[in-house]
A = this chain, B = another copy of it.
Amino acid sequence: MQLIYEKSTPGRRGVKLPASDVPVAAALPKELQRKESADLAEVSELDLVRHFTILSRRNFSVDTNFYPLGSCTMKYNAKMLENAAGLFAPLHPMTALLPGGEEFCQGTLGMLYDLGQLLADITGMDEVTTQPLAGAHGEMTGILLVAAYHKAKGNQAKKKYVVVPDSSHGTNPASAAIAGYEIITVPTAPYGDMDLELFKQAMTDEVAAVMMTCPNTLGLFNPHIKEIADIAHSHDALMYYDGANLNAIMGKVKPGDIGFDVVHVNLHKTFGTPHGGGGPGAGPVGVKKALIPFLPQPRIVTDDEGQLRLETKNSSSIGRTANFFGNFGVMAKAYAYIIMLGREGLIQVSEQAVLNANYIKEKLKAYYDLPYDMTCMHECVFSASKQLQHGVHAIDIAKFLIDRGYHPPTVYFPMIVKEAIMIEPTETESKAAIDAFIEVMIEAAQTAESNPQALHDAPVTMPIGRLDETKAAREQNVCCAVG
């Protein structure tokens, strides 16, 4: 398909702008002027609309395809939530930062405050900042809070390490590294959790924090989690909870109750925001009391009259992690989602998500190797090792699924499972949809035996086949040359 720039015609105009009602100003000084106008698209509005409408149809998406992408919680998100977020479109964030400006923003500040409290209850934390802009951003923020905490205690100098299990998501070590720590990686034991013995060995007083996902990326809940937290705390290391898998446990267990000190929540996974083809999400961070003094600015607080105010100059704060109050539109969806589903609704979400994952696990374990065969939470991880005997890789199965109209599960993650196939159905899929998916997965397993080449050749029904990624990386053609 042509690029929008290839559809451009020199001189063609786009949307009409208002005519000016003021005099034309004297030109900018020559040396400040742009020489050549940026060569943006020059297309009619119809051509623009056709281009992007047709382009959109070259995506699989939750609204068109079952999308059991493990670790990503690709649930259906109610359309009303999109409308709700739109209500806030015209509100300027600087208003709240003007002198006396909070008064004019009690609606939005109140919503953020309430959302913080709801998330605090869900995660068992004492206060939440909504500023971080995604899960990884929350992780970095959280680890910076840990650093500020240790610094305030005067022992940051000796705190050099963050411990992560080898099953952790790549953002965990990356965020900790960006926040200034070295990483210690602890292997996973055969029972599917971080090896407790090796963990104990890794723990010293130089460890600033332990970052865990619970349930972990294998979809398993670590029964030793409290013990791990106790050990960490005994070294004055804080426990960091990666909330990417919160969809499994709402109302069932709270990170704050089981020893965690800092939590981020991926609102876009659990709470009502579609993934946008790669964001925007939001990664609010909840903390236990001891960490509240370090929360980012501006922080929403209530004054004596119950009015919401902004704390902007708390010198113990880590400062700002983003421009304003976070991805407010995402927060609006999360807030609406939580108040709509309510207590029972959220519990059901977790129950049904776990039910669906276990159902798939049981139905498929005769066809695919299940390295950790136990009750899972909201997702299950298979290995294509059986299929590999026929030369078929996880990626081949993924591509076969595409031909059948299914977005593939996550493959090759977690890295600790060879040829991993990580399936997260979410709670919003109907049994019929899940059964149909199971059928296709079985068909893939059978085809792996009967006709492996068919899997290597997949996909054949898409406008393009498998792409040459090496060429892409070598040529680094990241900007259109035409036009």
Contacts and interface: CB of A to CB of B under 8 A. Distances in A.
B47 A430 contact: yes
Contacts of A432: 7, 9, 47
A313 interface: no
Interface string A54-87: 1001000011110000000000101100000000
Contacts of A49: 63, 76, 79
Contacts of A151: none
A433 interface: yes
Nearest to A49: B63
A46 B12 CA distance: 41
A45 interface: yes
A50 interface: yes
Given A49-B79, A57-B57, A76-B49, A430 B44 contact: yes
Interface string A426-437: 001111110000
B79 A63 contact: no
Contacts of A57: 57, 64
Copies of this chain, complex-wide, total: 2
B430 A12 contact: yes
A62 to B, nearest CB: 8
Contacts of A53: 63-64
Given A7-B432, A9-B432, A432-B9, A63 B76 contact: no
B7 A46 contact: no
Given A63-B53, A64-B54, A47 B78 contact: no
Contacts of A46: 62, 76, 428-430, 433
A78 B50 CA distance: 13
Q: Which of A7, A44, A54 has the most CB of B within 10 A?
A: A44
A65 B49 CA distance: 11
Nearest to A429: B46
Contacts of A45: 76, 78
A431 B46 CA distance: 12
Interface string A398-432: 00000000000000000000000000000011111
A298 to B, nearest CB: 33
Interface in A119-142: none
A426 to B, nearest CB: 9
Contact of A50 (B7, B12, B64): B64
A82 to B, nearest CB: 12
A47 B63 CA distance: 9
Contacts of A431: 9
Contacts of A428: 44, 46
A7 B49 CA distance: 32
Contacts of A79: 49
A430 B43 CA distance: 9
B47 A433 contact: yes
A373 B433 CA distance: 58
Contacts of A63: 49-50, 53
A9 B50 contact: no
Contacts of A47: 430, 432-433
Contacts of A433: 46-47
Given A12-B430, A49-B79, A50-B63, 9 more contacts: A9-B430, A9-B431, A45-B76, A46-B62, A46-B76, A46-B428, A46-B430, A49-B76, A53-B64
28 contacts: A7-B432, A9-B430, A9-B431, A9-B432, A12-B430, A43-B430, A44-B76, A44-B428, A44-B430, A45-B76, A45-B78, A46-B62, A46-B76, A46-B428, A46-B429, A46-B433, A47-B430, A47-B432, A47-B433, A49-B63, A49-B76, A49-B79, A50-B65, A53-B63, A53-B64, A54-B64, A57-B57, A57-B64
User: Which 10 pairs, one residue from A and one from B, show the smallest C-beta to C-beta distance?
Assistant: A46-B76, A46-B428, A53-B63, A44-B430, A49-B63, A53-B64, A47-B430, A54-B64, A50-B64, A57-B57
